[in-house]
């Protein structure tokens, strides 16, 4: 079977920002795939088999080969379906910059975002919100230097860092809604505010970006299920 004919499955769930990365990348390449949604609260046999190490979504199954970890999946998609549009920048240095920021977001920024809802007390919540704000200030500056006046981190088109960062927008809006605070807006982060609009309106993103209202409902369900402190 040629690579174009092999079946593509994506194990995931609609609220997950990491799954969203894979879906956007697949859309950009116009790859047809079967979206197998995991039931919240349980893990399917297929998931446990294809990602025994982490038992986490997303998993891309191409033919019989499972690919795990969202950013690794995005790079894989870009390499296998190599006709334009390219997702990774073409120059090695620009790729390094994009990968650096994606790593920063996943290792430093997102953990703060994840912890906000479960924060014990006002002090901790404030500290985490401040971390998020500082991170966004960094990303605003990164946006200006990387995009060089173009609409996306990837320049004229959505690229790796747009996907790596943009996947978090839905949950960021949820945090803004719960806290009553604006984190990413035209006053604080004008470049990012414009970028976010363009990103969410993009053809590859719009059909799969979860609506903030739905995420808020989902977050309420999660919080109700969380063990009492």
Partner 1 sequence: MAKEEYGDVKFFGSGGSPYARRVQIALKLNGVKYQHFEEDIRNKSELLLKYNPIHKKVPVLVHNDKPIAESLVILEYIDETWKTHPLLPLNPYHRALARFWSRFIDDKVLPAIQEAAWTVEVKKREKAIEEAIEGLRYLEKELNGKFFGGETIGMVDIAAAFIAFWLPLMEEAVGLKLLTHDKFPKLHKWSQEFCSHPVVRENLPPPSRLLGFFKARYASITASK
Binding interface with partner 1 (CB under 8 A): 53, 62, 65, 67-69, 72-73, 75-76, 79-80, 92-93, 95-97, 99-100, 103-104, 138
CA distance 200 to 175: 18
Q: Which is nearer to partner 1, 70 or 218 (CB)?
A: 70
Nearer to partner 1, 7 or 211 (CB): 7
Task: Specify the residue, 68 or 205, whose C-beta has the smaller distance to partner 1.
Answer: 68
Query: What is the smallest separation between the CB atom of 75 and partner 1, expressed in angstroms?
Result: 7
**Which lies closer to partner 1 via its Cβ, residue 89 or residue 210?**
89
Q: How far is the CB of 71 from partner 1 (least distance, A)?
A: 8
Beta bridge partners of 66: 61
CA dihedral over 39, 41, 45, 47, signed as positive or negative: positive
> How near is the Cβ of 217 to partner 1 at its closest, in Å?
31
Q: Quick one: tokens of 137?
A: 């200030």
Can you list the pairs that 21-24 forms with residues at least 24 positions away whose Cβ atoms lie under 8 Å?
Answer: 21/58, 21/70, 21/71, 21/73, 21/74, 21/163, 21/164, 21/167, 22/58, 22/60, 22/70, 22/73, 22/74, 22/77, 23/208, 24/158, 24/163, 24/166, 24/167, 24/204, 24/205, 24/208
CB–CB of 165/101 below 8 Å?
Answer: yes
The CA-based angle 157-58-76, given to 5 degrees, is 50
Name the minimum Å distance from CB 138 to partner 1.
7
Question: By C-beta, is 96 or 223 nearer to partner 1?
Answer: 96
Minimal distance in Å, beta carbon 218 to partner 1?
Answer: 26
Pick the closer one to partner 1 by CB: 97 or 219.
97
* Residue tagged 């994606």 (tokens): 102
Q: State in angstroms the smallest separation of the CB of 78 from partner 1.
A: 9
Are 50 and 61 within 8 A, CB to CB?
A: yes
Tell the smallest beta-carbon distance from residue 187 to partner 1 (Å): 24
If the CB atoms of residues 99 and 125 are measured against partner 1, the closer one turns out to be 99
């Amino acid at each position: 079977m040629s690579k174009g004919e092999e079946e593509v499955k994506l194990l995931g769930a609609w609220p997950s920002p990491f799954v969203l990365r894979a879906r956007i990348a697949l859309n950009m390449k116009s790859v047809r795939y079967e979206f197998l949604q995991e039931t919240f609260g349980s893990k399917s046999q297929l998931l446990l088999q294809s990602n025994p190490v982490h038992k986490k979504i997303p998993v891309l199954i191409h033919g019989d080969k499972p690919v795990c970890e969202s950013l690794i999946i995005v790079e894989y998609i870009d390499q296998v379906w190599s006709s334009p549009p390219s997702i990774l920048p073409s120059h090695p240095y620009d790729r390094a910059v994009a990968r650096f920021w994606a790593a920063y977001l996943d290792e430093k920024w997102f953990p703060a975002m994840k912890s906000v809802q479960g924060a014990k007390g006002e002090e901790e919540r404030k500290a985490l919100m401040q971390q998020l704000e500082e991170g966004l200030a960094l990303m605003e500056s990164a946006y200006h230097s990387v995009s060089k006046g173009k609409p996306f981190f990837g320049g004229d088109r959505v690229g790796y860092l747009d996907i790596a960062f943009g996947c978090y927008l839905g949950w960021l809006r949820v945090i803004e809604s719960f806290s009553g605070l604006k984190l990413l807006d035209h006053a604080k982060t004008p470049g990012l505010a414009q970028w976010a609009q363009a990103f969410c309106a993009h053809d590859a993103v719009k059909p799969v970006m979860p609506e903030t209202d739905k995420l808020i409902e989902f977050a309420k369900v999660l919080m109700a299920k969380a063990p009492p402190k």
